[in-house]
Amino acid sequence: MRNILSSLVVMAALAVAPSVLHATPITGQFSITGASVTDNGTSLSFVPDSIAVGAANTLNGSFATLLSSNEAGTITQNIDYSPYTAGSGVITLTNTNGTIVNYTLDTLTAQVVGGFTLFTGNGMLSTNAAGYDNTDGTLLFSTQGNGTVTFSATTNAAAPSAVPEPSTLALLGTGLVGLAGLVKRRLA
């Protein structure tokens, strides 16, 4: 009888435990600046290792732990934005301690305003640091003029709004506890 009761209690605990285990989303904001990008009107070509992280002193939230000010970063490939192919633009930032933050753009739209091209993108932030979930983020990016120009970008990652845990697990746990009580009463 004790084995049955113990088994039911363990099953109830295991049913509820997964709802408590989760990683932390990446939150906060960082800025990057660079001086070597060519904007030909349909694509952006970057010189590797030309990005400075947090140069505008915008490095907060999770990024304050994951990155350091004025660290180098890379954009390893051209970004064709007219039209943009989802996932083709990746910004990689590496801390001196080996922490890597990747920002993969799912969308990127361009708008020319005066001598500036303003880009707005959405994508996924990820890191090799333990304990962080991949997190949605937005990118605001601008280049100043055509040809080889400077650029700046700001990325925001907001904590996802809390999603209520389905009551299924609570019902399962309550049912198992009730079943344990019924078995105990019948065997007593």
For 103-131, the pLDDT digits (tens) are: 899 998 888 888 778 888 899 999 999 99
pLDDT at 63: 85
Q: Say if 165 falls within a structural domain.
A: no
| Alpha carbon distance 90, 75 (integer Å) | 6
Residues 68 and 138 in one domain: yes
pLDDT, tens digit, 9 for 90 and up, residues 144-157: 765 555 565 666 77
Q: Say if 162 falls within a structural domain.
A: no
Residue from 140, 134, 110 nearest 122 by CA? 140
Residues 119 and 176 in one domain: no
141 burial level (CB within 10 Å; 0-12, 13-18, 19+): buried
pLDDT at 20: 45
What residue numbers bound the domain in which 135 lies?
A: 28-157
More confident of the two residues 26 and 160: 26
Q: Say if 126 falls within a structural domain.
A: yes
Q: In 10 A of CB 103, how many CB atoms? A: 24
Residues 12 and 42 in one domain: no
pLDDT, tens digit, 9 for 90 and up, residues 44-67: 887 765 676 665 567 888 888 888
More confident of the two residues 66 and 169: 66
| Mean of pLDDT over the chain | 73
Tell me the whole-structure pTM to 2 decimals: 0.67
18-49 in b/e burial notation, b at 16+ Cβ within 10 A?
A: eeeeeeebbbbbbbbbbeebebeeeebebeee
